[in-house]
Amino acid sequence: MKKYEDQISNFIKLNKKELMALNDFFGWSLNDLELKEAQDYFKKIKTAPFRGDIETIAQTWSEHCKHKTFSCPVKFKYKGKTKRYKNLLKETIVKATNKLNKPWCLSVFSDNAGVVEFGKDKKWGVAFKAETHNHPCAIEPYGGAETGVGGVIRDILGVGLGAKPVLNTDNFCFGRLDSKMPLPKKSLSAKRIFAGVVDGVRDYGNRMGIPTASGGIYFDDGYALNPLVYVGCAGMIPRNKIHKKVYSGDLIVSMGGRTGRDGIHGATFSSANIDEDTSTAAVQIGHALNEKKALDALLKARDLNLYSAVTDCGAGGFSSAIGELGQETGARVYLEKAQLKDSKIAPWEIWVSESQERMVLSVPSKKT
């Protein structure tokens, strides 16, 4: 692999204005406080970061990945009374779930999907995950919808040691199809977004043999520029396959699609405002047949106990998948061994690319 000199040698010396200029140039979508926090860290360890270091921080801290809005302080008025939350998510949904502590909730807030008990014999669980794919669908409706569905299917594959996807679901909010509202330059019409999203969700699921079992739709001009596209997936998992663990000495194995430049900055793009300069290159390229092959192979490997943990390459690609799996053990990554779509891709691009249909496994060395 070609050697890339991508160390940002002056990063720790830049002032606020220079940091923001660098941020805008590279498309990190970090705010000034986040840039300062990153700069202070590299000052503390007395080293200049490489491009991949800041790209990893940018995707990890993006609204798309971290959901900062859900975890930030919120104050609002309801029926004349002021209500305050220090952390909206933890003090509402998480608090209520933990307080109820139902035994049939087998996995909550700890994996790629939630799992609840299923069946009288209690030997199975139902996994479910839903997420939004709004920005990608606003600029590339068909591809954005396809990769949205592909992503939640992989979340089901990546829960525990792997669940089998059995159905998809969706909810859409679009601008009115008969709207006369003027649109900014390069914006897509509600009709085009509507048609592309519906076709994309349908086609990806059908090609994988997974039906779209339910859905809903709503039209309002408030969604004319940025539609709301919820896609979800449910799957079945044996109860004895719900938990996973990475062990020191396990090997990192990637399976599924190859890694390319498509989807780079997908997480940061999804967290930023859409404007005339927004590029469709941030939208990943889907390939449902590749994901179907990965699904079939993964479930066979699961039943043969060939790996100890699995997760999907979602936003942030290898950086998030390997980062999550190696949270307790650490990881040594050989990027030059990645299967590539483009031999000229830089190391940092391999690391954060959001190319689709990829899963990462933690495999005991004795299983290889």
Q: Which CATH number do you get for residue 143?
A: 3.30.1330.10
Q: Are residues 176 and 208 in the same domain?
A: yes
Residue 1 located in a structural domain = no
Does the active-site annotation cover 243? no
Q: Are residues 224 and 271 in the same domain?
A: no
Sheet containing strand 114-118, edge to edge, reads 105-107, 114-118, 124-132, 228-238, 164-174, 212-219
Q: Are residues 124 and 174 in the same domain?
A: yes
Residue 80 located in a structural domain = no
Q: Are residues 160 and 223 in the same domain?
A: yes
Backbone angles phi, psi at 143, to 5 degrees: -65, -40
Residues of the chain below pLDDT 50: 1-4
Which one of 241, 259, 275 terminates a domain?
241
Q: Are residues 262 and 230 in the same domain?
A: no
Residue 127 located in a structural domain = yes
Q: Are residues 144 and 207 in the same domain?
A: yes
Q: Cβ-count burial of 4 within 10 angstroms (0-12 exposed, 13-18 middle, 19+ buried)? A: middle
The conformation of residue 259, written as its DSSP 8-state character, comes to B
Residue 156 located in a structural domain = yes
pLDDT at 1: 42
Q: Are residues 230 and 255 in the same domain?
A: no
Residue whose tokens read 């801290």? 61
Does the active-site annotation cover 135? no
Q: How many domains is the chain partitioned into structurally? A: 3
pLDDT at 67: 80
Q: Are residues 136 and 224 in the same domain?
A: yes
Neighbours of 162 (CB within 10 A): 25
Q: Are residues 237 and 120 in the same domain?
A: yes
C-alpha distances in angstroms, 254 versus 3, 257, 294, 311?
Answer: 23, 9, 10, 10
Q: Are residues 305 and 271 in the same domain?
A: yes
Residue 90 located in a structural domain = no
Residue 120 located in a structural domain = yes
Residue 74 located in a structural domain = no
Q: Are residues 215 and 261 in the same domain?
A: no
Residue 105 located in a structural domain = no
pLDDT, one tens digit per residue, over 65-120 is: 888 888 889 998 988 999 999 999 899 999 999 999 999 999 999 999 999 999 99
- Domain housing 124: 110-241
Q: Are residues 137 and 58 in the same domain?
A: no
294 vs 285: CA distance, rounded Å: 16
Joined tokens for residue 139? 């600029």
pLDDT at 305: 97
Neighbours of 205 (CB within 10 A): 25
Which one of 207, 241, 275 terminates a domain?
241
pLDDT, one tens digit per residue, over 270-291 is: 555 555 555 555 566 789 999 9
Which one of 241, 263, 295 terminates a domain?
241
Catalytic residue among 67, 133, 135, 265: 133
Backbone angles phi, psi at 320, to 5 degrees: -85, -45
